[in-house]
């Protein structure tokens, strides 16, 4: 089984994008079922990236698909900013 050894700059870039995606997801106050589905999708992306033999390009594609789903969810619920901002 091949080991996953991302290139230093590629792995750091992907890690940064994952961190940004998590921050964006946390900033949304979505309905619980939708938030839970997006969270599961995000976990699947993270698992795919760190799986043995993972391919960075595949991880990037999965992350891009997740970000598209996140953008769609944010567009459906335009007033869904961070719940702490709703004071």
pLDDT tens, residue by residue, 32-86: 999 999 999 999 999 988 888 888 888 899 999 999 999 999 998 876 555 444 4
Inform me whether the pLDDT recorded for 87 exceeds 60: no
Place of tokens 């994008």: 17
pLDDT at residue 86, as a whole number: 44
The confidence band for 2, taking pLDDT boundaries of 50, 70 and 90, is very low
**How far is CA 9 from each of CA 5, 12, 52, rounded to the nearest angstrom?**
11, 5, 19
Predicted confidence (pLDDT) at residue 8 exceeds the cutoff of 60: no
Q: pTM of the entire structure?
A: 0.74
Q: How many whole angstroms separate alpha carbon 9 and alpha carbon 36?
A: 31
Report how far residue 73's alpha carbon sits from residue 28's, in angstroms, rounded to the nearest whole number: 9
d(CA 30, CA 1): 39
């Amino acid at each position: 089984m091949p080991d996953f050894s991302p290139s230093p700059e590629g792995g750091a870039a992907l890690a940064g994008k994952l961190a940004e995606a998590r921050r964006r997801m946390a900033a949304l106050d979505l309905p619980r079922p939708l938030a839970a589905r997006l969270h599961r999708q995000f976990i699947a992306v993270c698992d795919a990236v760190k799986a043995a033999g993972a391919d960075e390009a595949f991880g990037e594609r999965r992350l891009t698909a997740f970000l598209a789903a996140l953008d769609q969810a944010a567009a459906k619920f335009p007033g869904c900013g961070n719940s702490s901002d709703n004071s």
